[in-house]
Amino acid sequence: MHVIDSHTGGEPTRVILDGGPDLGSGPLTERAKKLATEHKAFYQSVVLEPRGQVAMVCALLVEPVDPDCVTGVIYFDAEAVLGMCGHGTIGLAVTLMHMGKIGLGPHKIETPAGVVTVDVKDANTVTVTNIESRRVESGVAVEIEGLGTVTGDIAYGGNWFYIVDSSPVPVTPAHIPELTQAAIQVREALNAKEERIDHVIFYGPALSENGHSRNFVLCPDDAYDRSPCGTGSSARLACLAAAGQLSEGEEIIQESVIGSTYRLSYTAGPKGGVIPSISGQAWVMAESKLIFAETDPFRAGITL
């Protein structure tokens, strides 16, 4: 299995070029469902240690249905198949550029959440125009032991997010273990009522002079996003727009918990949401061939 690894603002993406399971040629939503329900062992073997690593998101390349797209892609982490992935799409565009498959300028990519556009500015810099994103509920309160009442918005940006504007824990690298624990508690409390939330985001003040805010993003596999999270930033843009806190075309700089940044803005969407624009940078780190030896006791990954 040939793979190319990159990172976007510190968050790794492994693009799988060949050797994935046959998912058929139906709509990407159906192929993603098939991957999730019938091939968990395959996707965990690629992403889990020792072959992968805890923060990694994989991008399985598939034939697109839409002939205008340069590729189709299905993203997954160790726990879940994702509808879309912003950092992964920036990493994928930089990888396709590195391979000589695309050049500078705009290209369409098909994901299970819909068709997105990447505008490749240089070898490392990409702007993603995501699918229409929307706030679905605001002021949703949950009681969390040790934290008290936590209030946030539920929003969709290609994945489902619960977004807390004023983090119950300081959003700094030193607090990552507590942030992780608090976000897991929040996700479990919310999903005890209704299984919908796959990511939780806590927002705090920016640490840089030009930053709008800094975020901590908990992913489905309980790893935190090293990047500011493209789909999470899309959901957040929808919330800011719905609350009248950000105008169409206004640009903000979003910091991740480790200090990497995206430039974000939106235009109004046709269905009342927002069309997010996410600009970030990725670097290719490795081109490898993964080997799955029959005699390797951990060929399926370490599952504890």
- Please give the residue ranges that form the binding site for ligand PYC (CB under 6 A): 11, 57, 82, 85-87, 219, 225, 227, 229-231
Nearer to ligand PYC, 223 or 241 (CB): 223
> Min. distance of Cβ 57 from ligand PYC in angstroms?
5
Nearer to ligand PYC, 57 or 69 (CB): 57
Nearer to ligand PYC, 126 or 299 (CB): 126
Which positions ≥6 away from 203 have C-beta within 8 Å?
A: 163, 164, 165, 166, 167, 171, 213, 214, 215, 236
Determine whether 281 is exposed, middle or buried from the number of CB atoms within 10 Å of its CB (0-12, 13-18, 19+). buried
> Min. distance of Cβ 111 from ligand PYC in angstroms?
10
> Min. distance of Cβ 217 from ligand PYC in angstroms?
7
Which residue is listed with tokens 């098939």? Answer: 34
On whether the CB atoms of residues 99 and 92 are closer than 8 A, the answer is: no
> Min. distance of Cβ 280 from ligand PYC in angstroms?
9
What is the largest distance, in Å, between two alpha-carbon atoms of the chain?
Answer: 59
Nearer to ligand PYC, 147 or 269 (CB): 269
Active site residues: 85, 229
